[in-house]
Amino acid sequence: MAKRVLVAIADDGGRGALRAALSEEGYAVAEASSGAETVDVAHRLQPDALVLDGRFADTTAPELVAALRQETTAPILVLTGEDDSAEQLGCLRAGADVCVTRPYSLREVQARVLALIRRVDLSNGRGQGGAEVEHLGDFRLDRAARTVHVAGAEVELTLKEFDLLSFLLAHAGRVQSRERILEQVWGNALGDRRTVNVHVRWLREKLGQFEGVPLRITTVTRAGYRLDRLEGQLTAAVGGGLSPAGVPSSSSPRP
């Protein structure tokens, strides 16, 4: 069965061009021309990926991404302004997977959509490695259910935050470069390395709200990130850069 892609763009010409380009790749393409229609179609269709332009009269791009995250876990690609870093960060924080700046090439969007869908397929097939359920003390990550709990309380993570944590945990104790993380989690090794930095920071903030999380994500200077399991130990804060004894780690904890 062909993968379903929802293209949501207000401009008829831009929407038609993307529809044609994605149809050439064998996707079944659905369309929407407003924010409200996008949410409605996403709810009914449950597409495998979404491509949207945030320039709608009835909503902003971050608001639309947040609304879509109530309807679907499918990867979302947002077309944003070249110099609008606030919009890009807002979309990523709301749950978008990647932002592509205008002007964009149709070939780039084709490649990005292919990579996003492939990454989901690999993730669903346990392509990132690791057991289906990771259980460390009060911490529990369920890859099948895509949930994380600490002492019974659910940690609310976005799609990419979960994929990032799942990937790092499956390769605990080993440094992962930003390029490798981009390739394995985002499906594009040539993406913006700052995307990884931002998601690591958000992941640290969310896990750091819980006491006794037996994990620590460390920034290894000029190399990348390493997640360490701290079984049988207590950590002051996942993002605090402290060892279990409260001694500053040798590597910087910041992105």
Mean pLDDT of 98-113: 90
pLDDT band for position 248 (50/70/90)? very low
The number of angstroms, rounded, from the C-alpha of 116 to the middle of its chain's C-alpha atoms is: 10
Whether 17 and 82 map to the same domain: the answer is: yes
Mean pLDDT of 111-137: 73
- Output the six-digit token pair for 101: 């700046």
Whether 12 and 103 map to the same domain: the answer is: yes
254 belongs to a structural domain:
no
Task: Count the domains in the chain.
Answer: 2
Find residue 81's DSSP bridge partners: none
Q: What is the CATH number of the domain that holds 27?
A: 3.40.50.2300
238 belongs to a structural domain:
no
**Which residue range(s) make up the domain with 18?**
4-124
Mean pLDDT of 226-237: 64
Residue, of 123 and 120, whose pLDDT is higher = 120
- Output the six-digit token pair for 242: 């402290």
- Output the six-digit token pair for 117: 């869908």
Contact 8, 33 (CB under 8 A): yes
22 belongs to a structural domain:
yes
| Torsion on CA atoms 154, 125, 135, 220, rounded to nearest 10 | -90
Q: Is the pTM of this model over 0.85?
A: no
Whether 106 and 23 map to the same domain: the answer is: yes
Whether 114 and 170 map to the same domain: the answer is: no
Nearest CA among 224, 253, 250, 229 for reference residue 239: 253
